């Protein structure tokens, strides 16, 4: 994608950097001449580290892990211009009455608490930038009732509400927005046997634009929200779903 703004000298943190959307966003930010700090739970980065890309293995559910990363970043830079929280998972496809408390917590915590932890830890470096931005990953499932997605839907609804509260608390220095994609063609929608978690053909039929989203179609909106072009946008949730849900 052609860079939409000059991010030379700017620094960004991506939590969930190894995800499909995380990789797409990292490449776009590097194309904009930004410096990127990627965080994910896997040992190895899916993107080759460069003089402008640094990768840290950390579990965003563990605040101590993020504190350690913060300390390492803080020794390299005095400010961060943007934070993107992409963490999310669906561990169990069960009706709520069939879920155990641990089933619920596993999905809910990864999909929401990781966002909360990262915002708490990185906000001091964002404040140093004076004009900074946070973008949190919500989901279209936060806005509809879909069976067997209980803890994930609830966690992403929490992200939407959390984003609005944080936007009010951190303004005017830091803008905070969320994005709510529909189905995106990444590993997230596929099972271990290679099949999708839902009827992909049926889903595409109901989408007015007749396709799954590509990762770049989500990351480009995130990039816009991070940029000065979105300087008067905060507390909003941007839906990216090909028209599957019109809000």
**Positions marked catalytic:** 152
Class of CATH domain 11-240: alpha beta
Q: What is the pLDDT of residues 94-146, one digit of tens each?
A: 999 999 999 999 999 999 999 999 999 999 999 999 899 999 999 999 999 88
Q: Where are the domains of the chain?
A: 11-240
In this prediction the pTM is 0.94
Of 102, 107, 65, 79, the C-alpha closest to 13 is 79
Q: What is the pLDDT of residues 25-84, one digit of tens each?
A: 999 999 999 999 999 999 999 998 889 999 999 999 999 999 999 999 999 999 999 999
Here the tokens at position 217 are: 């179609």
């Amino acid at each position: 994608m052609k860079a939409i703004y000059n991010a030379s000298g700017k620094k960004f943190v991506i939590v969930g950097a190894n995800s499909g959307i995380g990789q797409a966003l990292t490449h776009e930010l590097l194309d904009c001449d930004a410096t990127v700090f990627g965080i994910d739970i896997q040992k190895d980065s899916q993107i080759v580290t460069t003089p402008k890309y640094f990768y840290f293995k950390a579990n965003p559910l563990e605040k101590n892990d993020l504190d350690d990363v913060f300390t390492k970043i803080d020794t390299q830079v005095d400010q961060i211009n943007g934070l993107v929280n992409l963490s999310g998972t669906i561990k169990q496809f069960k009706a709520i009455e069939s879920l155990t408390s641990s089933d619920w917590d596993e999905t809910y915590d990864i999909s929401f608490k990781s966002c909360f932890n990262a915002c708490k830890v990185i906000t001091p470096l964002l404040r140093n930038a004076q004009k900074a931005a946070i973008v949190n990953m919500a989901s279209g499932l936060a806005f509809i009732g879909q069976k067997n997605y209980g803890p994930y839907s609830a966690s992403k609804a929490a992200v939407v509400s959390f984003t609005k509260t944080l936007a009010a608390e951190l303004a005017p220095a830091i803008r905070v927005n969320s994005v709510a994609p529909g189905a995106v063609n990444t590993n997230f929608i596929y099972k271990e046997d290679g099949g999708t978690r839902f009827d992909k053909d049926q889903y595409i039929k109901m989408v007015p634009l007749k396709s799954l989203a590509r990762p770049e179609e989500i990351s480009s909106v995130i990039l816009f929200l991070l940029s000065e072009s979105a300087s008067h946008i905060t507390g909003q949730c941007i839906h990216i779903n090909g028209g599957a849900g019109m809000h």
